[in-house]
A and B are shown apart, each in its own frame.
Chain A
Amino acid sequence: MQAGFFIDRPTNPARPAAKVFTIIILLLAYSGLCWLAFSHSLKNWEQVWGYRVTFLNGWAATIGISAAALLLSTAIGALTALARRSAFLPLRYTAAAYVETVRGLPLLVLVLFGFYGIANAVGWNDRLSVGIVILSLFSGAYIAEIIRAGIESVGRSQWDSARAIGLTPVQTYRFVIFPQVLRQILPPVAGQFSSLIKDSSLLYIIGIPELTFAANQINSATYSTFESFVPLGICYLVLTLPVSLWTKYLESKVRYET
């Protein structure tokens, strides 16, 4: 049989040896290309090294902001998802308006308007806490949608069975719906965490000393663009790649169990 250029079945039939060989060749080729193109601009490491504490502080701030925003946005998302299932219409519509507005706006616009507009108007000047709240409100809207989809993915028969054995609505959510929703939404929520880490970089615009802010500052001080931004990229990848791998693992687990 003649092999075509495109895969014509769901899984990739490549042999392990071919995979390893291809990866090694590609790694050598791409790093060679990068070396040829950029080696002359990667010379100023000594001066950048002097700013390593600034850089590490920024990295710690990024991790802290992301973790705090994840907790807060999960709470906001869960409450919003519940509000969207409320029988009380004003609550349901408020939640829907919040989700649609936030999802319809770029994060940068929310950060600028939230800080220079709303936070300034009410006299709230602590940049870090404003930044965490804006990021949480942004991510919370997406998590609300993830949870809503998770609740809707639980079949009608589960609600029927829960009612049939005499559970109250609150018990139904607690013992039947949430445990199943949790398993469904873990992979997309982990993915959202990865987005959160990346999105926190936009907070540099309001002067929060997180990782991107630190790298930008080092670049301004040393005029070493590559030496500042290459570690910046690597530091984000060190955070997001494990989360992405964890997401893939969770996805495969959910698939096997259902």
Chain B
Amino acid sequence: MKILLRSLTKSFGPQTVLDSVNFEAEFAHTLALIGPSGGGKSTLLRLLAGLDAPDSGEILVNGEPLPQDEERLRIHRSHTGIVFQAYNLFPHLSALGNVMLPLTEVHGIDAATARDRAMDVLKRFHLADHAAKQPAQLSGGQRQRVAIARALAVDPAFLLLDEPTSALDPEMTAEVLDVIVELRESGKPIILVTHEMGFARRSADRVAFIAEGGVLEYAAAGEFFENPRQPAVKQFLERILKY
């Protein structure tokens, strides 16, 4: 998968979060975006998802520029698997209902086929027994797994995961990270914002460090963690890996 950012700028009020970013990344499976809070990781992910539009500049995914108008952005989103930190699921629908909703309403698949496909994905993530439960009856880890199942069920071109384990305790984090590893093996490209450095190191092909309105460093995961070039990255890693 290839992404290309051309003088990409995004501000919220007086704060410029991404400041004329030029960046090119090519990776086989997983790109991890790491960096300090407020540095622009999640903003970049939302732009890639087509949830927000940049103030200026453009994004090319696999050579195709992201559309500008809302209707075509919506179609882009419907072919992209997006998972947020928490509260992804619709609380009034069962796990199965959550996975089925985009299949039937966005992709026009008939209910019976959608049900079969949704159950297949839930089974794959060992959630078949929880299919009828409402999100409130699921654990945090199960909820995130259902959210990933929902994102995957539409057979997206790639997956964008925005800190999918930040709201979870260590055990549930491990349970969700297992699922992400499995996804990686299935071959769907993943772009992942994460604070789990160990996970980024072991499972990502490439790591981009985002801070101060841009991409400060981009390298293969092993190289990034063993031999960071930028002092800011070195400092960040030292601080975060201290305990």
* Residues of chain A at the chain B interface (Cβ within 8 Å): 155, 157-158, 160-168, 171, 175-176, 179-180, 183, 257-258
Q: Is the Cβ of B84 less than 8 Å from the Cβ of A258? A: no
A165 to B82, CA, bound (A): 7
A153 to chain B, nearest CB (A): 12
When distances are taken between beta carbons in the complex, the residues of chain A under 8 Å from B29 are none
Known contacts A155-B87, A171-B105, A175-B101; A163 and B92 CB within 8 A of each other: no
Does residue B89 face the partner (Cβ distance < 8 Å to A)? yes
Known contacts A179-B92, A183-B92, A257-B136; A166 and B102 CB within 8 A of each other: yes
Does residue B166 face the partner (Cβ distance < 8 Å to A)? no
Q: Which 10 A-B pairs have the closest CB atoms?
A: A166-B78, A157-B87, A164-B82, A165-B102, A166-B106, A179-B92, A166-B77, A161-B88, A166-B74, A180-B92
Q: Is the Cβ of A176 less than 8 Å from the Cβ of B90? A: yes
B59-103: which have CB < 8 Å to A?
74-75, 77-80, 82, 84, 86-92, 101-102
When distances are taken between beta carbons in the complex, the residues of chain A under 8 Å from B106 are 165-167, 171
A167 to B82, CA, bound (A): 13
Does residue B3 face the partner (Cβ distance < 8 Å to A)? no
Does residue B188 face the partner (Cβ distance < 8 Å to A)? no
A165 to B102, CA, bound (A): 6
A87 to chain B, nearest CB (A): 12
Q: A163-B74, A166-B102, A179-B90 are in contact. List 20 more A-B contacts (CB 8 A).
A: A157-B84, A158-B87, A161-B88, A163-B51, A163-B77, A164-B51, A164-B80, A165-B78, A165-B101, A165-B102, A165-B106, A166-B77, A166-B78, A166-B106, A167-B106, A175-B101, A176-B90, A180-B91, A257-B134, A258-B136
A-B contact pairs, 9 of them (CB 8 A): A157-B84, A160-B51, A163-B74, A164-B82, A165-B78, A165-B102, A166-B78, A167-B102, A171-B105
B59 to chain A, nearest CB (A): 17
When distances are taken between beta carbons in the complex, the residues of chain A under 8 Å from B89 are 161
Number of B interface residues in the complex (CB < 8 A): 26
* Residues of chain B at the chain A interface (Cβ within 8 Å): 49, 51, 74-75, 77-80, 82, 84, 86-92, 101-102, 105-106, 134, 136, 150-151, 154
Q: Is the Cβ of B51 less than 8 Å from the Cβ of A157? A: no
* A165 partner, pick from B77, B91, B134, B136, beta carbons under 8 A: B77
A165 to B159, CA, bound (A): 12
When distances are taken between beta carbons in the complex, the residues of chain A under 8 Å from B79 are 166
Closest to A256 in B: B136
* A157 partner, pick from B74, B80, B86, B151, beta carbons under 8 A: B86
Closest to A159 in B: B51
When distances are taken between beta carbons in the complex, the residues of chain B under 8 Å from A180 are 90-92
When distances are taken between beta carbons in the complex, the residues of chain B under 8 Å from A160 are 51, 84
When distances are taken between beta carbons in the complex, the residues of chain B under 8 Å from A167 are 101-102, 105-106
A157 to B80, CA, bound (A): 17
A221 to B136, CA, bound (A): 60
Q: Is the Cβ of A258 less than 8 Å from the Cβ of B91? A: yes
A36 to B150, CA, bound (A): 70
Among A155, A164, A176, which residue has the most Cβ atoms of chain B within 10 A?
A164
B121 to chain A, nearest CB (A): 14
Q: Is the Cβ of A164 less than 8 Å from the Cβ of B77? A: yes
A79 to chain B, nearest CB (A): 23
When distances are taken between beta carbons in the complex, the residues of chain A under 8 Å from B51 are 160, 163-164
B74 to chain A, nearest CB (A): 5
When distances are taken between beta carbons in the complex, the residues of chain A under 8 Å from B136 are 257-258
A158 to B84, CA, bound (A): 11
A230 to B124, CA, bound (A): 67
Closest to B134 in A: A257
B50 to chain A, nearest CB (A): 9
Q: Is the Cβ of B90 less than 8 Å from the Cβ of A164? A: no
When distances are taken between beta carbons in the complex, the residues of chain B under 8 Å from A183 are 92
B26 to chain A, nearest CB (A): 25
Known contacts A163-B77, A166-B78; A158 and B105 CB within 8 A of each other: no
A60 to B88, CA, bound (A): 48
Closest to A171 in B: B105
A171 to B101, CA, bound (A): 10
A115 to B80, CA, bound (A): 58
Q: Is the Cβ of B90 less than 8 Å from the Cβ of A158? A: yes
Among A158, A163, A168, which residue has the most Cβ atoms of chain B within 10 A?
A163
Among A157, A166, A257, which residue has the most Cβ atoms of chain B within 10 A?
A166
Closest to A162 in B: B90
Q: Is the Cβ of B88 less than 8 Å from the Cβ of A157? A: yes
When distances are taken between beta carbons in the complex, the residues of chain B under 8 Å from A157 are 84, 86-88
